[in-house]
């Protein structure tokens, strides 16, 4: 791992330009035996591809992959240029962190520079006199021994020494001073007794920063030949300040050193540790599905601004930041399930307002508290001319291409490429006061424009997005940082652009795809101000209908679109959950996103045909294809009207075979509407959304009340209920679960509830009581093994002993491939199978169905999926059991005849799809469906299956 140290710093270097600076850097690397002179060519080649300027006066030059043959040894050098070097045509670099690395080790240095990119240290770097000052500014060399109140625990419960060691390791890991592996390095036999009941244990493995954690127990536990009432756990490495540790030990050797410390604060004071401000505090678990992104963060900042006095917030016990600063709130990267702790200045309005702040967070900050959706994962940037960069293939005329469906609809028109604006402006300015006035006027004008957009917006989603944008311009921290740049003689445009870009990069670096994607919002707002500062007019859209093509359409662009002219939207990047997709759906504009870089190189005058239903798009389609698409659109509209008129009729094929069509429900209140659309049953009640609708865990009585709403609406119709399916990617705010690297393969669904049997039993009891004699179908999600089914059934049998249910069937969801493969064994015991094709597809094909690049390849009509469905149906029917399909495939018009042909008995779809699915079934013949399914099972690809289905449609 690369590290930064004083011996690797060269102070007070001089260079007239970047070329001279690169020569100096290369000479230093050569002199220190890290590279040969030819490495200079690699440094120059990298700068020719893209500037390595990061922000705050820091550049991180490094060679291209091809130049790695010129590296002798891995290393890093920090070179100080107090007079600055113009690095990218507008920004001065005062520190160059030059890297010679044979792999991607330079990414570690980027992580070390996080603080430098988020705080205003440019001037301090420029005037630094010593290497120690440089390292202190970069925060690259942490304190030699961290003693902090957050590393203390008082009144802890423990049964044995293992519990104590675990708690100490958790304290250290939470503050990010140790890595995985530290706990296993703690050996009880190495503990040293400091005095009666007080022991000390040191470990060196997986230590990122020297630190001390103290765990004081409520009651002593037996240990060795005596007892343990408190443990001092030292995380040590070669940078440990032995003198400071010695002073700490001197205090701990004193009689009654910790005996009178009954709280975390008292422990910290007893050992001279840094303490959290002694202000009133309150904590709350963040329940928002997508974390603290722009809209809820805006709402939180606004709530806090209502009170005079300082309000600070920390994430999971970390450092505190201002809760009134939107950019600071966004920089937390807070995700659902994490804890926000607020503290307020004593005696202020803010202190009295803490309960209101907590309630605002608990209520969702203007958002509904719903289950976590699959956030779109941002695609990595291609590495310029790197040898392993993703190849961008040119699009061919009249050939189907695939993106991500973002907003439904069919649209055709000329391609209009809206390119990124290139702003030109002076880097410095003599009259700071005049620049300050320009910025204030530009910000005021943009705020007025945004206020007008909010007032004219027809959609709540659009209003919320632009309200969040306007709040960014009210952020005092942002404006202060920009003003600091102006005071350093930067022009208003240079100061504004530099800080906005630094904030955007900080957002992109967050370990949360949705929050990182909000960097586009920052740049959107930033560019609106830049346009006014630089006198750049917004591009005018064409007069005839067109398809807008961009890298990633920012919301303000979409909201300005003339819906009479824009036919659709096609973007190179983005996902179905991006702000652009939200706005496009709100405006009813067909959109396909994540289509790849090739769409940015379309020839002028190109024609596009896009399908927002399935993500397909065509370049220069044949006129016959366009005509067919428009006819299809008109036909679909007519078919829907006819289907809705007959939605209450049964779904019976032309040869008399009846198929039950049920509804997938996310909210209990939606049941009545599903019945009105022709639902013959509830095929999937997602009970996690019932849990999400409450700020705290609903008890059995509350659950029963919620479930009764569905049973009452459905009357005598069957209700299939999926037991609680949360965990990993879908945590409950009041049920904290450990963060998992791969949540789809972790503790979720039945795996989670079996580890919390009381939670499962309570839900089952509520369901049995709510059914009250009406047909109840219970199914367990994420079953992967026969043992899991047996364990769940045993808990249900226990609940049935108290609350019998005369009309009950019990089944499982087929989502994990292993279950489909042992369906023959399970079919002897279960009453039914319900195939969740969404998860089954992603597990079989190993493709995250929410991935913006790969999701289009996760097709449920792949022959491997059909083979598993066929095996499951065959096994079930041999034992007289029925099979339903409740995934998206059940509403796919190409899949419906194949599913019927495979013998599926029930299709469960969204309420809006029920009329169309019923209408399609009435046009089908069972014998023909079986022939189609048999042929589909012989296909090799999903594309072949879809083509086969189309030909037989």
Query: Model confidence at 557, in pLDDT bands (50, 70, 90)?
Result: low
Rounded to 5°, angle at Cα 346 from 343 and 348? 100
Question: Residue 856: what pLDDT?
Answer: 57
Question: Residue 513: what pLDDT?
Answer: 46
Strands 410-417 and 607-611: antiparallel
Mean pLDDT of 88-95: 88
Question: Residue 378: what pLDDT?
Answer: 32
Token readout for 221 is 């536990």
CB-side neighbour CA atoms (13 Å) of 569: 35
Token readout for 879 is 């034992």
pLDDT for 851 beyond 70: no
Query: Model confidence at 377, in pLDDT bands (50, 70, 90)?
Result: very low
Residue percentage of the chain with pLDDT more than 90: 39
Question: Residue 134: what pLDDT?
Answer: 86
- pLDDT digit string (tens) for 471-525? 888 877 778 778 877 887 788 998 898 888 877 776 666 544 445 556 777 888 8
Question: Residue 371: what pLDDT?
Answer: 36
The CATH 3.30.1340.10 domain(s) of the chain lie at: 280-362
Neighbours of 785 (CB within 10 A): 14
Q: Which residues are catalytic?
A: 62, 293, 579, 886
The CATH architecture to which 6-138 belongs is 3-Layer(aba) Sandwich (3.40)
Q: Which of 590 and 659 is assigned the larger pLDDT?
A: 659
Question: Residue 409: what pLDDT?
Answer: 82
Neighbours of 346 (CB within 10 A): 13
Q: φ, ψ for residue 738 (rounded to 5)?
A: -65, 145
- pLDDT digit string (tens) for 342-357? 988 888 888 888 988 9
Q: φ, ψ for residue 471 (rounded to 5)?
A: -65, -30
Candidate ranges 165-179, 580-594, 682-696, 782-796; pick with highest mean pLDDT: 782-796
Q: Which of 949 and 692 is assigned the larger pLDDT?
A: 949
User: Mean pLDDT of all residues in the chain?
Assistant: 84
407, 581 in Cβ contact below 8 A? yes
Strands 832-835 and 607-611: unpaired
The CATH 3.40.930.10 domain(s) of the chain lie at: 6-138, 149-270
The CATH 1.10.274.10 domain(s) of the chain lie at: 432-534
CATH code at 649-951: 3.20.20.60
CA 474 from centroid of its chain's CA atoms: 26
Question: Residue 866: what pLDDT?
Answer: 97
- Report field, pTM of the whole predicted structure over 0.85: no
Query: Model confidence at 140, in pLDDT bands (50, 70, 90)?
Result: very low
104, 87 in Cβ contact below 8 A? no
- pLDDT digit string (tens) for 148-199? 888 998 888 888 898 899 889 988 887 778 888 888 889 999 999 999 999 9
pLDDT for 141 beyond 60: no
Among 307, 352, 306, 305, CA closest to 329: 305
pLDDT for 36 beyond 90: yes
Helices and strands (DSSP H and E) totals, the chain = 37, 30
H helices of 854-941, where? 863-878, 896-901, 914-922, 926-936
H helices of 772-813, where? 786-802
pLDDT for 107 beyond 60: no
Question: What is the CATH T-level fold of the domain 432-534, as seen in this structure?
Answer: Enzyme I; Chain A, domain 2 (1.10.274)
Question: Residue 656: what pLDDT?
Answer: 95
C-alpha distances (whole Å) from 597 to each of 386, 513, 518, 552, 570 are 16, 19, 20, 11, 11
User: 280-362, superfamily in CATH?
Assistant: HPr-like (3.30.1340.10)
Q: φ, ψ for residue 547 (rounded to 5)?
A: -105, 120
- pLDDT digit string (tens) for 674-733? 999 999 999 999 998 778 777 677 899 999 999 999 999 999 999 999 999 886 555 565
Question: Residue 383: what pLDDT?
Answer: 39
Query: Going by C-beta distance under 8 Å and a sequence separation of 6 or more, which residues neighbour residue 894?
Result: 861, 945, 946, 949, 950, 953
Q: Which of 211 and 119 is assigned the larger pLDDT?
A: 211
pLDDT for 389 beyond 60: no
171, 234 in Cβ contact below 8 A? no
3-class state of residue 783 by DSSP: coil
For domain 401-418+540-622, say whether CATH 3.50.30.10 is its number. Answer: yes
3-class state of residue 199 by DSSP: strand
Question: Residue 374: what pLDDT?
Answer: 31
Tell me which of 206-220, 306-320, 425-439 is least confident: 306-320
Question: Residue 540: what pLDDT?
Answer: 65
Question: Residue 865: what pLDDT?
Answer: 96
Q: Which of 576 and 837 is assigned the larger pLDDT?
A: 837
Question: Residue 884: what pLDDT?
Answer: 97
What is the rounded distance in angstroms from the CA atom of residue 74 to the CA atom of residue 10?
18
Q: φ, ψ for residue 345 (rounded to 5)?
A: -60, 130
Question: Residue 271: what pLDDT?
Answer: 87
Query: Model confidence at 854, in pLDDT bands (50, 70, 90)?
Result: low
Residue at token pair 């009105």 = 676
191, 199 in Cβ contact below 8 A? yes
Neighbours of 458 (CB within 10 A): 9
Mean pLDDT of 454-483: 77
Among 450, 451, 474, 447, CA closest to 305: 474
149-270: which CATH number, 3.40.50.1400, 3.40.50.1370, 3.40.930.10, 3.40.50.261? 3.40.930.10
Query: Going by C-beta distance under 8 Å and a sequence separation of 6 or more, which residues neighbour residue 246?
Result: none
DSSP annotation of 125? H
Question: Residue 1: what pLDDT?
Answer: 47
């Amino acid at each position: 791992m690369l590290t930064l140290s004083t011996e690797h710093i060269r102070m007070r270097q001089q260079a007239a330009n970047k070329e001279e600076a690169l020569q100096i850097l290369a000479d230093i690397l050569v002199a220190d035996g890290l590279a040969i002179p030819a490495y200079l060519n690699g440094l120059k080649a990298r700068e020719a591809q893209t500037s390595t300027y990061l922000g705050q006066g820091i550049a991180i030059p490094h060679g291209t992959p091809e130049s790695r043959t010129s590296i002798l040894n891995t290393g890093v050098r920090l070179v100080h240029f107090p007079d600055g070097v113009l690095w990218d045509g507008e920004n001065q670099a005062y520190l160059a962190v030059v890297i010679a690395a044979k792999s991607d080790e330079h990414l570690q240095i980027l992580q070390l520079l996080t603080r430098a990119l988020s705080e205003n240290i440019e001037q301090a770097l420029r005037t630094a006199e010593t290497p120690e000052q440089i390292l202190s500014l970069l925060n690259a060399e942490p304190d030699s021994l961290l003693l902090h109140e957050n590393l203390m625990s008082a009144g802890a419960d423990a049964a044995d020494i293992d519990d104590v060691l675990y708690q100490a390791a958790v304290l250290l890991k939470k503050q990010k001073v140790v890595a995985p592996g530290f706990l296993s390095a703690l050996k009880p036999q190495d503990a040293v007794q400091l005095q009666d009941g007080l022991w000390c244990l040191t470990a060196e493995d997986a230590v990122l920063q020297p630190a001390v954690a103290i765990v004081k127990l409520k009651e002593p536990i037996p240990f060795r030949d005596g007892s343990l009432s408190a443990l001092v756990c030292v995380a040590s490495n070669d940078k440990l300040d032995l003198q400071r540790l010695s002073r700490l030990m001197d205090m701990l050797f004193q009689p009654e050193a910790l005996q009178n410390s009954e709280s975390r604060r008292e422990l910290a004071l007893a050992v001279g540790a840094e303490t959290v401000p002694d202000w009133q505090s309150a904590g709350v678990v963040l329940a928002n599905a997508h974390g603290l992104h722009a809209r809820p963060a805006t709402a939180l900042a606004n709530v806090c601004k209502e009170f005079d006095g300082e309000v600070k917030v920390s994430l999971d016990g970390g450092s505190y930041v201002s809760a009134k600063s939107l950019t600071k709130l966004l920089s937390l990267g807070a995700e659902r399930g994490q804890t926000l702790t607020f503290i307020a200045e004593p005696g202020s309005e803010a202190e009295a307002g803490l309960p209101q702040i907590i309630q605002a967070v608990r209520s969702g900050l203007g958002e509904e508290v719903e289950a976590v959706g699959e956030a779109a994962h941002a695609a990595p940037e291609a590495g310029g001319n790197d040898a392993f960069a993703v190849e961008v293939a040119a699009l061919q005329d009249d050939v189907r291409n695939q993106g991500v469906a973002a907003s439904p609809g069919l649209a055709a028109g000329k391609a209009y490429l809206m390119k990124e604006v290139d702003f030109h402006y002076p880097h410095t300015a003599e009259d700071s006061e005049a620049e300050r006035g320009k910025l204030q006027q530009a910000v005021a004008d943009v705020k007025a424009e945004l206020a007008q957009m909010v007032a004219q917006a027809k959609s709540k989603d659009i209003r919320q997005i632009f309200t969040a944008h306007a709040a960014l311009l009210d952020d005092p921290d942002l404006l202060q940082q920009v003003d600091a740049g102006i005071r350093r003689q930067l022009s208003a445009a240079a100061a504004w652009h530099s800080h906005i870009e630094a904030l955007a990069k900080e957002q992109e670096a967050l370990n949360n795809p949705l929050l990182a994607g909000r960097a586009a919002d920052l740049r959107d707002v930033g560019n609106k101000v830049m346009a006014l500062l630089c006198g750049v007019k917004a591009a005018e859209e064409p007069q005839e209908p067109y398809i807008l093509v961009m890298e990633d359409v920012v919301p303000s662009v979409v909201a300005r679109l003339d819906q009479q002219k824009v036919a659709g939207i096609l973007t190179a990047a983005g996902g179905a959950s991006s702000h652009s997709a939200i706005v496009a759906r709100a405006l009813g504009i067909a959109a396909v996103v994540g289509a790849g870089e090739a769409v940015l190189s379309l020839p002028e005058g190109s024609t596009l045909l896009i399908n927002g239903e399935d993500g397909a798009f065509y370049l220069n389609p044949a006129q016959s294809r366009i005509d067919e698409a428009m006819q299809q659109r008109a036909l679909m509209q007519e078919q829907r009207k006819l289907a809705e008129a007959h939605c209450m009729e049964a779904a019976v094929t032309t040869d008399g075979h009846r198929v039950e069509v049920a509804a997938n429900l996310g909210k209990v209140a939606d049941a009545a509407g599903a019945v009105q659309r022709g639902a013959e049953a509830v095929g999937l009640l997602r009970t996690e959304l019932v849990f999400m609708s409450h700020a705290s865990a609903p008890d059995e009585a509350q659950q029963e009340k919620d479930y009764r709403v569905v049973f009452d609406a459905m009357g005598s119709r069957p209700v299939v209920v999926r037991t609680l399916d949360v965990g990993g990617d879908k945590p409950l705010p009041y049920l904290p679960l450990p963060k998992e690297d791969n949540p789809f393969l972790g503790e979720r669904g039945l795996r989670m509830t079996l580890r919390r049997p009381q939670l499962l039993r309570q839900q089952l009891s509520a369901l049995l009581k709510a059914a009250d004699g009406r047909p109840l179908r219970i199914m367990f999600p994420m079953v992967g093994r026969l043992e899991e089914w047996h364990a769940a059934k045993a808990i249900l049998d226990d609940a049935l002993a108290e609350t019998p249910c005369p009309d009950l069937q019990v089944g499982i969801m087929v989502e994990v491939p292993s279950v489909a493969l042992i369906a023959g064994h399970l079919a002897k015991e279960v009453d039914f199978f319900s195939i969740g094709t969404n998860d089954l597809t992603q597990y079989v094909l190993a493709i995250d169905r929410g991935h913006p690049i790969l999701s289009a390849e996760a097709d449920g009509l792949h022959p491997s999926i059909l083979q598993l469905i066929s095996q499951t149906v065959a096994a079930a029917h041999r034992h007289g059991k029925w099979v339903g399909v409740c995934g998206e495939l059940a509403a796919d018009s190409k899949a419906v005849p194949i599913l019927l042909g495979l013998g599926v008995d029930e299709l469960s779809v969204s309420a809006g799809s029920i009329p169309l699915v019923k209408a399609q079934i009435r046009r089908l013949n069972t014998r023909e469906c079986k022939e189609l399914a048999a042929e589909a099972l012989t296909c090799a690809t999903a594309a072949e299956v879809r083509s086969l289905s189309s030909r037989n449609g």
